[in-house]
Structure formats: C-alpha cells, structure tokens
Amino acid sequence: MIRWMYAFLAILPLLLGAVRADAGERFIVLQSTTSTQNSGLFDYILPKFEQATGIQVRVVAVGTGQALRNAARGDGDVVLVHSPADEARFVAEGHGILHCRVFYNDFVIVGPNLDPAGVGGLRDAAEALRRIAAAGREGRVVFLSRGDESGTHKKERALWRAAGLDPTAESGSWYREAGAGMGATLNMAAGLGAYTLTDRGTWLSFANRRDLEVLVEGDPRLFNPYGVMVVNPKRHPHVRFAEAKAFRDWLISEAGQRAVASYRVHGVQLFHPDVRCGDMPTPEARP
C-alpha cells in the first residue's frame, strides 16, 4: 500500500501536467460522416484550418444518423453531415445553431461492368432501381445497402420510395445490408459484384474497384449537399463554442471554400462550394 502511494505521488505531477496541457490546448470534436473522411477531404482541408487558427480538429467519422445522435448528447462541438431533413430537425429540436449548407457533390449508382440489370447510362435513378430489383428477384444481381442510417442510406431509401418499392422486405436475398461505412460497403460490393449507391467523393478515392464502375449518374435526385452546425451551448454548456464557431465561419469563408474547391483526386474536383445559410432550397434542387 505504501509503495503504491509513493508510486502514485511520483507520477502525480506528470498527470497534472497532462491535464494542464490538455486544458490549454485549443481543439474541437467534429462529428461528421464517413464520406468526408474516406474521400480524403479532411486530410486536405483540416491542416489549413488548423494552421490558420491554431485550433485542432478531432474527427469522429460515422454515419450521419449516428453523428447527429452523438451531437444531440453533447458528444461533440460541431457537426458536418449530409442529410438536409435531419439537419433541419436537429436545429428545430434545439440541438444545433448556425446552420449553413457549405458544399455539395452527388451520388452515383455503381455496379458490375457487365451490368446484368441493364441500367448503364440511365439518368433516372428510380428506374434503375426498379430494373435492379427485377433482376434481383430473378437471381441475377445483388444490391448492397449501407444499412446504417447514414445520409447515404437515407438517400437510398428515398430513391427506393421514388421507385415505388420497399426492398427491405427481401433483405437477405438479392437485397443485402452491410451495416457499415461507405468504404467498407464498396469493398463488399466489389467482392460480391453487387450494385450499390455511393457518394462520388468516396468512389473517386476508392482503389479496390475490381469490376465495378459508375452506371447511373446525373439524376437531380442524386444531388448531395453537406451542412455544418454548431452544437447548441445552451443545451450543452461544455461545448467549445468559440472554437466551433471559428470552424464553421472558416468553412463558409472565402479561404475555406477555396480549400474545398481545390481538393482533387485523379485531377477531378470532389466537392463544390455552395454557401447557403438560414432558409435553404429543398435538397432535390440542384443550384
């Protein structure tokens, strides 16, 4: 017991020093999506923000639904996700403030290059899903859903509704649910030779394509806007409001938007600047 006390007293200054160092460090916890992480966007823009402000960003990359649930519990200072209806609800329920749309890209349907469902070249995503479902019921194809309540999963479900179908009743047959992030889902789709919905940013950053290719794109319903919000400090007084607001303000500033626009993979621009704060158009309306 005595030896334990001496050992504890010996390391106590180190522990206190670590606490003081952490207390003096300026950082925020950013709840965000796997797509912004998997696409490499954060690796590119966050060092620019940190250099400009001295504020470190600690990213929690999960699906949009989980990111919003985490933030609603106060487990984060700022949120960057891509589900406009859920973002509006988050603000309306008092969890978030200073909401802005900040950039966009689009979703695409990818699948095997042999395309047994015959959807290649379609610009109507709902018609493509109807064809995939018909081919799936014939045992010719598999569609792989993220199945994780992410923004991508919510978009997929909206597209199935537009197609007049509910494939979850057939889950486990031709329709399968990964329950995983976008990168893992694409890896699984590549292994299965399956169709899936992905954001273009993650797709362009994805190396393990095997025989997958983009088959359906260009439908206005595939528009994919991202929004940023500060977690409401009135709900959660521990929120680092000044630092979180600094991140939001930088992201909508000319410097932040320029950083987003300049990020490219294989020479292709992944995200397009688009600052809209307050009242915003419906998510289906491409600017």
> Which tens digits make up the pLDDT trace of 221-240?
999 999 999 999 999 999 99
Residues 206 and 176 in one domain: yes
Give residue 13's pLDDT. 40
The band of 126, judged by pLDDT with boundaries at 50, 70 and 90, is very high
Domain of 163, CATH number, reads 3.40.190.10
Residues 42 and 84 in one domain: yes
Q: Is the pLDDT of residue 43 over 50?
A: yes
In a domain, 255, yes or no: yes
Residues 238 and 218 in one domain: no
Q: What residues does 81 pair with on adjacent strands? A: 227
Q: Which two tokens stand for residue 239?
A: 């929120």
The tens digit of pLDDT for each residue in 66-102 reads 999 999 999 999 999 999 999 999 999 999 999 999 9
Helix axes 64-72, 151-162, angle to 10 degrees: 130
In a domain, 200, yes or no: yes
Q: Is the pLDDT of residue 4 over 70?
A: no
Residues 91 and 233 in one domain: yes
In a domain, 239, yes or no: yes
Distance CA(61)–CA(120), nearest Å, equals 31
Residues 65 and 149 in one domain: no
Domain count within the chain: 2
- What is the overall mean pLDDT for the chain? 89
Q: Which domain holds residue 168?
A: 106-222
In a domain, 60, yes or no: yes
Residues 66 and 118 in one domain: no
Domain final position from 222, 247, 263: 222
DSSP code of residue 171: B
Q: Which two tokens stand for residue 30?
A: 């950013």
Q: Is the pLDDT of residue 147 over 50?
A: yes
Distance CA(230)–CA(239), nearest Å, equals 9
**Which ranges in the chain belong to alpha helices (H)?**
2-24, 34-38, 41-53, 64-72, 84-92, 125-137, 151-162, 182-192, 200-205, 241-252, 254-262
Residues 117 and 259 in one domain: no
The tens digit of pLDDT for each residue in 171-201 reads 999 999 999 989 999 999 999 999 999 999 9
Residues 217 and 244 in one domain: no
3-class SS at 213?
Answer: strand
Give residue 1's pLDDT. 45
In a domain, 96, yes or no: yes
Q: Which of 124, 127, 136, 121 is nearest to 195 (CA)?
A: 136
Q: Is the pLDDT of residue 5 over 50?
A: no
In a domain, 285, yes or no: no
Residues 95 and 229 in one domain: yes
The tens digit of pLDDT for each residue in 262-273 reads 999 889 999 999
3-class SS at 57?
Answer: strand
Residue bearing tokens 């410097």: 255
Residues 96 and 228 in one domain: yes
Residues 13 and 149 in one domain: no
In a domain, 283, yes or no: no
8 Å CB contact between 64 and 82: yes
In a domain, 280, yes or no: no
Residues 215 and 231 in one domain: no
Give residue 210's pLDDT. 82
Give residue 278's pLDDT. 76
Distance CA(177)–CA(34), nearest Å, equals 17
